Amino acid sequence: MSTSVMVIGAGPAGLQAASTLSHLGFDVTVVEQQQYLGGAVARHQYQVLMPDFSSGPELLRHLIERVNEDPHIKIYTGTSVEDVSESRDIFSITLSGAHAETIQSHAVVLATGFDHFNPARDGKYGYGIFPDVITGAELEEMFAKGPIRRPSNGEVPQSVAFIYCVGSRDRQVGNTYCSRVCCAVSAKQSIELREQLPKARISMFYMDVRTYGLWEDSLYWRSQEEAGVVYVKGRIAEVTEQHGRPVLKGEDTLVRGPFEWPFDLIVLAAGMEPSRGTHDMAKKFQVSLESHGFIKQAHTIHNASLTDHPGVFVAGAASGPKAIEDSIAEGDVASLAVFDYLKAKVTL
């Protein structure tokens, strides 16, 4: 019997894991609840990726072609995990949906990713009330579909504000962590916006700018130096509306003092939360969550993909907010960890 591994979730992390596992000699089943592959990148049609402005659709094509062409990988879209039992280190996994069958697996990689924080949960931003208040993900979809216009009246926005840390770093909403990518993604989006809106006033309302590592100059500085974007240090307490335009009520903490400034378009840099699928799978496969609700890495430093349940591995945003590059890298890390785990047990 060949050794088979199940990958749950077909975002960047899961797709990478599937391909690498197959290269290592395993038979792989990829289970994805949606009808499409590619996770968040496909769902929101990211066109241009942070940090290197490479093409989102091209990345997807690359990741998806590899798994589609691989005879050792079975792709089950529209399929969910119903039930899991385990006996002598073999998981017996019952699926439902498009491929309702039961599969034996020697190891499992959870790549179930994240959900966007829904800003409607935090009333102060007026999301869902004012049409010109959108999320960063919705801005990505706008980039994909056509020119940027104000949802309220179809006009070209003359001013755009980004609000950072929406649903992150905030005890009031219960998320005390930083979502890590939204600062850099917002900077990237502002640079893209500038190409379309040469005259617009673009302002970023931040608490800290966390374009860490190599993203400092390539994104943060570039947005200021080349795109003329303005950074205002202060959190927004309320979005209201006046004369059909959203108004930001905030404090400029550097010059000190409150402001109320109108903008044509507001982009909320909504953070990442563990996806519902991540919670579901953690329960079914009996792995612990860490204090923020992501899958707990048993040895964070030693190996990013180990959970506290032998045979169950994790990759990507399921174990915490991270960028695509890290999610893909972790797809490989998890594959090697699976190899390490199984080579002692099964002769290939």
Ligand X SMILES: Cc1cc2nc3c(=O)[nH]c(=O)nc-3n(C[C@H](O)[C@H](O)[C@H](O)COP(=O)(O)OP(=O)(O)OC[C@H]3O[C@@H](n4cnc5c(N)ncnc54)[C@H](O)[C@@H]3O)c2cc1C
287 binds ligand X (CB under 6 A): no
Residue 293 CB burial class (10 angstroms; 0-12, 13-18, ≥19): middle
d(Cα 94, Cα 85) in Å, to the nearest integer? Answer: 9
Please give the helix or strand (H or E) that residue 258 lies within, else none: strand 258-262
Please give the helix or strand (H or E) that residue 104 lies within, else none: strand 102-105
Q: Which does 243 bind (CB under 5 to 8 A by kind): ligand SF4, ligand X, other proteins, none?
A: none
Residues that bind ligand SF4 (CB under 6 A): 164-165, 168-169, 178-180, 182-183, 208, 210, 269, 271
Structure tokens at 169: 């770093």
Q: Which does 164 bind (CB under 5 to 8 A by kind): other proteins, ligand X, ligand SF4, none?
A: ligand SF4
Q: Nearest distance from residue 13's CB to ligand X, in Å? A: 3
Closer Cβ to ligand SF4, 41 or 219, answer by number: 219
| Binding test (CB under 6 A) with ligand X, winner from 13, 200, 219, 229 | 13
Q: Which does 246 bind (CB under 5 to 8 A by kind): ligand SF4, other proteins, ligand X, none?
A: none
| Binding test (CB under 6 A) with ligand X, winner from 187, 232, 281, 314 | 281
d(Cα 210, Cα 186) in Å, to the nearest integer? Answer: 11
136 binds ligand X (CB under 6 A): yes
d(Cα 213, Cα 16) in Å, to the nearest integer? Answer: 24
What are the C-alpha distances in Å from 248 to residues 136, 163, 179? Answer: 17, 9, 22
275 binds ligand X (CB under 6 A): yes
Closer Cβ to other proteins, 21 or 183, answer by number: 183
d(Cα 182, Cα 128) in Å, to the nearest integer? Answer: 20
Residue 1 CB burial class (10 angstroms; 0-12, 13-18, ≥19): exposed
Q: Tell me which stretch binds ligand X (CB under 6 A): 90-98, 170-178, 271-279, 301-309.
A: 271-279
d(Cα 281, Cα 344) in Å, to the nearest integer? Answer: 26
Q: Nearest distance from residue 256's CB to ligand X, in Å? A: 31
Q: What are phi and psi of 317, to 5 degrees?
A: -70, -5
Q: Which does 107 bind (CB under 5 to 8 A by kind): other proteins, ligand X, ligand SF4, none?
A: none
d(Cα 136, Cα 277) in Å, to the nearest integer? Answer: 22
Closer Cβ to ligand X, 31 or 209, answer by number: 31
Q: Which does 178 bind (CB under 5 to 8 A by kind): ligand X, ligand SF4, other proteins, none?
A: ligand SF4
Kindly list the residues in this chain that would bind ligand X in the complex (CB under 6 A).
8-14, 31-34, 39-41, 46, 49-50, 80-81, 111-114, 116, 136-137, 140, 181, 185, 272, 275, 277, 280-281, 316-318, 322-325, 327
